[in-house]
Amino acid sequence: MKIVSTRTIVTCPGRNFVTVKLETDEGVWGIGDATLNGRELAVATMLDEHVLPCLIGRDPGNIEDIWQYLYRGVYWRRGAVNMTAIAAVDTALWDIKAKCAGMPLYQLLGGKSRERVLVYGHANGRDISETVEEVARYQDMGYQAIRAQTGVPGLESTYGVSNSRTSYEPADAGLPSEHVWSSERYLNHVPRLFERLRSEFGDELHLLHDVHHRLSPIEAGRLGKALEPFHLFWLEDAVAAENQAAFRLIREHTTTPLAVGEVFNSIWDCKELIEQQLVDYIRASVVHAGGISHLKRIFDFASLYHVRSGSHGATDLSPVCMGAALHLDIAIPNFGIQEYMPHNEQTDDVFPHAYSFVNGHLFPGETAGHGVDIDEKLAAKFPYKRAYLPISRLTDGTLCNW
Ligand code: EZ4
Ligand code: CO
């Protein structure tokens, strides 16, 4: 079998998505997510100009060889744009292989290790009582694990909370909007949220929280310690993780489980974090960490060190990534949890998919391949619209992590 045609499809059904489609001489095709929020056209250009032309005539069955060809063959290695492009190709190749086998992808990854995939949803409120209402609403929808975020008194906006109460979409402006941040105010407020949530909802519900890279290690230690009585499922991205050793300091101060990895693009970003057991959950994703092949390598490595998976699954990761992720989630032995933010209706229409949500869990479905397709005619009706994530500044104007 040979790859005979390739293309990149850019569409904006409410937000931008980039998708790779590979077609074979036997009429089978596969698709992969190539969306990098705020840098979409960089990946599309990487694919169109530098990656896809090399694939024509290759045997789509040789997934590992093509992965190595694109990784080692680049010479420069790693990087978000490069690894997202490789991920898209890898996902499309696995889709083709599973379709040719007439099997859902999880069968090729070793079959099911569990019946269903536990997911967590997002409850966001402008203040604590609004967040409490949202958590109740998510519980009513069947969620057994809920990430809770709240506005902070004295800050006009914060990560994870929509000012309009519609569903949260951070890439909301044609150029980056600017937000003001204060770790002091945040640190004083967040423990009050979780104290209230435990008193309202009891001990059984899994509660999670995303710090979104904003603290220093010692501040993260303080927050983890303050949250211990409320036994979180995890504290996410407590500090930026370029300096992997920084997590040791957090660990020395708290038993709150730590999760990190949504911005990672290779196993090298988390080697020390995993090997030294500095985190509990690794949150790398199919689309940003080199596809099914490389993410499986990360998860297998993590399994040696009691680190479980918890993949990123925000709405800027397309349904194609979600579908592929679920096959990996259901197959690996060290699955932890999967993030899930449902896409809007237009997006679901552009990407018909086999996965389904039932009672706080996702099921990948039994369709051959990863179970997600793209309606190219419909996709063409939603042209690309430039959109950026915000930036953050301290009250004195210093740029800090968003
Ligand atoms: O801000 O995906 O856990 N989820 C997150 C996301 C990220 C966006 C960035 O594109 O932190 O909401
Ligand atoms: Co996050």
Q: Which amino acid is at 77?
A: R
**Upper half-sphere CA count for residue 245 (Cβ side, 13 Å):** 0
* Whole-number Å distance between alpha carbons of 274 and 300: 11
CA neighbours within 13 Å on the CB side: how many for 42? 10
Helices (H) and strands (E) in the chain, counts: 13, 16
Pair type for strands 391-394 and 178-181: parallel
* Whether 149 contacts 159, CB under 8 Å: yes
Indicate if ligand 1 lies below 6 Å from the C-beta of 40. Answer: no
**For residue 236, how far is its CA from the centre of ligand 2 (angstroms)?**
6
CA neighbor of 348 nearest in space, from 368, 383, 320: 320
Q: Is 170 in the pocket of ligand 1 (CB under 6 A)?
A: yes
Could you say which ligand is closest to the alpha carbon of residue 124? 1
Compute the distance between CA of residue 42 and CA of residue 348 in angstroms, rounded to an integer: 24
Q: From the CA of 57, how far away is ligand 1's center (Å)? A: 37
Tens-level pLDDT at each residue, the chain (402 residues): 999 999 999 999 999 999 999 999 999 999 999 999 999 999 999 999 999 999 999 999 999 999 999 999 999 999 999 999 999 999 999 999 999 999 999 999 999 999 999 999 999 999 999 999 999 999 999 999 999 999 999 999 899 998 776 678 899 889 999 999 999 999 999 999 999 999 999 999 999 999 999 999 999 999 999 999 999 999 999 999 999 999 999 999 999 999 999 999 999 999 999 999 999 999 999 999 999 999 999 999 999 999 999 999 999 999 999 999 999 999 999 999 999 999 999 999 999 999 999 999 999 999 999 999 999 999 999 999 999 999 999 999 999 999
Does 189 qualify as catalytic in the annotation? no
The residue assigned the tokens 């301290």 is 394
Distance 260 CA to ligand 2 centre (A): 8
**Alpha carbon 368 to chain centroid, angstroms:** 23
Burial classification of residue 304, based on how many CB atoms lie within 10 Å of its CB (0-12 exposed, 13-18 middle, 19 or more buried):
exposed
200 CA distance to ligand 2 centroid (A)? 25
Closest residue by CA, ligand 1 atom 7: 314
The residue whose C-alpha atom lies closest to atom 2 belonging to ligand 1 is 314
Give the contacts of 345 (CB within 8 A, at least 6 positions apart): none
Measured by CA distance, the residue closest to atom 4 of ligand 1 is 314
Residue with tokens 């925000």: 314
Alpha carbon separation from 216 to 125, 209, 353 (Å, rounded):
25, 16, 40
Question: How far apart are the C-alpha atoms of 315 and 156, rounded to whole Å?
Answer: 23
| Secondary-structure breakdown of the chain: helix, strand, coil percentages, each rounded to the nearest 5 | 35, 20, 45
What's the CA gap between 317 and 285, in Å, rounded? 9
**Nearest atom within ligand 1 for CA of residue 37:** 10
**Using a 6 Å cutoff on CB, does residue 21 contact ligand 1?**
no
DSSP secondary structure of 176-217: --EEEE-HHHHHHHHHHHHHHHHHHH-SSSEEEEE-TTBS-H
Residue 31 structure tokens? 């698709």
And the tokens for 289?
Answer: 């960490």
Q: Whole-angstrom Cα distance, residue 35 to residue 10?
A: 9
Output the six-digit token pair for 138. 């998510």
Index of the ligand 1 atom closest to the CA of residue 212 = 11
Give yes or no: 159 in active site: yes
Ligand 1 neighbourhood includes 316 CB (under 6 angstroms): yes
Show the domains of the chain with their CATH numbers.
3-105 (3.30.390.10), 108-367 (3.20.20.120)
